[in-house]
Amino acid sequence: MGTDHRTRPADPPHVTAEGTTMKAVVQDVYGEAENVMRVEQIGRPVIGDDEVLIRVHAAGVDRGVWHLMAGLPYPVRLAGYGVRAPRTRVRGREVAGRVEAVGKTVTTLRPGDEAFGVGEGTFAEYATATPGRLAPKPANLTFTQAAAVGVSALTALQAVRDRGRVRPGQKVLVIGASGGVGTFAAQIAKAFGAEVTGMCTTTKVDLVRSLGADHVVDRTRHDVEDAGRRYDVILDIGGNRSLTRLRRALTPRGTLVIVGAETGGRWLGGTDRQIRASMLSPFVGQKLGTFICSENAKDLIVLTELIASGKVTPVIGRTYPLSETPAAIQHMRDGHARGKIVINI
C-alpha cells in the first residue's frame, strides 16, 4: 500500500510549522514500514509546561512501534491512536539524548542534562517527554545502549519482579530470550537469583548462553514441556503457545506471565489468549495473567543500578541511521533481531 498524501492529516497541536524544523520519519496512513514511512522536514515539537524537549541521539525500536504503525490489532486504533489514519505522524518511544529545553514547571531536569527513558515521537531529531518517564543516563552507557532500555527493560523488570515475583532459587523459563525484552528478562531473573532457562532459535543459542542463562532450549528442536522440566515462573514473551502447553511446563503453584501476544490476528492479535489466562487463573492453582508496563522514572533508576552493578547489560543487535528506520522495523518484524535494534540520529 503506497502513501496517499491526500489523506494526510494536519499536524497535531504540539507541533509547529514555524521556526526551526527537524528531520523526522513520518507516516500518514497505516501499513507496513516500507510503504508508509518516509523522512520529512517538519516543525520541532513545542513542549508544554510539564514537558521537556530532547535532542534525540538514539531511539530504540520496540514491538509496540509496529503495532502503532500498522494500526493492528484494530482495537489499537480505537484506543485513541486514530481510526482511519494515525493521529500523530511520528513513531518511536524509547529515547536517549540531551535535554534541549524544559517547561515552566519542570524542576528535575535542565538543558544540557543527558537523559534516557520513554518519550513521544522519538524517530526524529527532537522529541518530547515528561520528567516522570526519564532518568539520568548512566555514565557507563552510550546513547545507543541507553536508548535500548526505556520500554523493553522496564517491561522485563516488571514482568520478573512484579508479576513473576521471582525469588532466589526458583526455576524460570524465558520464552523469547534473545529479543529486546527477553535479553533483559533473562539477565534480570538471573540477577534476582533464579535458575534461568532461555528459549530461542538455533542461531541465537550462543547469545542467550552469553547472558548467563543456566540452560538454553532450541525451540526449533524442543518445546516447553519436552525437556521434562517444570518451572516456577514462565515468561512468555511474544509467543503464541496454547495455555494448555504452557501450564504443563509449570509447577502446580507456578506463575505464567504473558508479555505481549503475537498470533497475527487483525482483531485480537493474541490478546484473546491473555484474556483466557486471566479468566482461568482464579480457578486453578497456577497464577496466569499479563500486565501493562508502567513507564516511570523510579524503575528506570532501578535499572540504572542493575546496569551500574554489571548485572544487566543492554544487548544491541543492530543499529540503523534515521533514514533506514523502515528497514529497522522490518528487521524486527521478521524475527531477525538479536537483542535490541536502535536508530542512531
Q: How far apart are CA 9 and CA 11, in angstroms?
A: 6
Which is it for strands 38-43 and 316-321: parallel, antiparallel or unpaired?
A: unpaired
String of DSSP letters for 213-267: -SEEEETTT--TTTT---EEEEEEES----HHHHHHTEEEEEEEEEE------SS
Question: What per-residue string of b and e applies to 102-137 under the rule 16 or more CB within 10 Å gives b?
Answer: bbeebeebeeebbbbbbbbbbbbbbbbbbbebbbbb
Indicate where the chain has its CATH 3.40.50.720 domain(s): 152-290
Q: Is 153 exposed, middle or buried (0-12, 13-18, 19+ CB in 10 A)?
A: buried
Domain at 152-290: CATH code: 3.40.50.720
Angle in degrees, CA 25, 150, 160, rounded to 5: 140
Strand partners, 39: 25
Instruction: List pLDDT tens digits, range 290-328.
Output: 999 999 999 999 999 999 999 999 999 999 999 999 999
Cβ–Cβ < 8 Å for 36, 69: yes
pLDDT band at residue 81 under the 50/70/90 scheme:
confident
Per-residue pLDDT reduced to its tens digit, 176-193: 999 999 999 999 999 999
CATH 3.90.180.10 domain span(s) along the chain: 5-149+314-344
| 5-149+314-344 CATH choice from 3.30.590.10, 3.40.50.740, 3.40.50.300, 3.90.180.10 | 3.90.180.10
